Structure 1
Amino acid sequence: MKVRVFVSLKEGVLDPQGKAVGHALENLGFRDVGEVRISRVVDLDVPAATAQEAVEKGEAMARALLANEVIEDFRVEAAS
């Protein structure tokens, strides 16, 4: 079963990559863009009998490795 893990920086944590992209967009003429934040998506194929079991395994993987919970939030969804 496939799951998708979305990882993003918590509110209040500086995002230097987002700042760089924001400046680049301004330099390209997109001056009306507000704050830019960069996130990542991790697609996983996990052995599971149900979507709920797959999501639970994805959450365990996110806590163990995929997200730094001190500075990042994550959410896991079953994917098709």
Structure 2
Amino acid sequence: MDSQIKNKLIIEFSWLLGIIIASAALEYAIIVFFDLHPILSVKIQGFIGLVVVAYIIRMIARMGKQGVIAFEDDEQEKSGERE
């Protein structure tokens, strides 16, 4: 079980790193080739940041759904305890 968590985390963080690198390269190319206004480049950076945050949320939810990580609410439902 421990190796499953370790492998899943390595895969997910490598995807996250790939998304960050690809988005940074895309942002750099857009700014350099199209000579955008500075405000527009900040908006592109904000959009890229939102994509990264969304991927992190999706990664955590997917890992919880697959049972790799357990949420506190899931443990309470399994034990039948309700407050």
Check whether TM > 0.5. no
Structure with the bigger RCO (C-alpha within 8 Å, sep 6+) is 1
Larger strand percent: 1
* Higher CA-based Rg: 2
Q: Give the alignment's TM-score, normalised by structure 2.
A: 0.28
Larger helix percent: 2
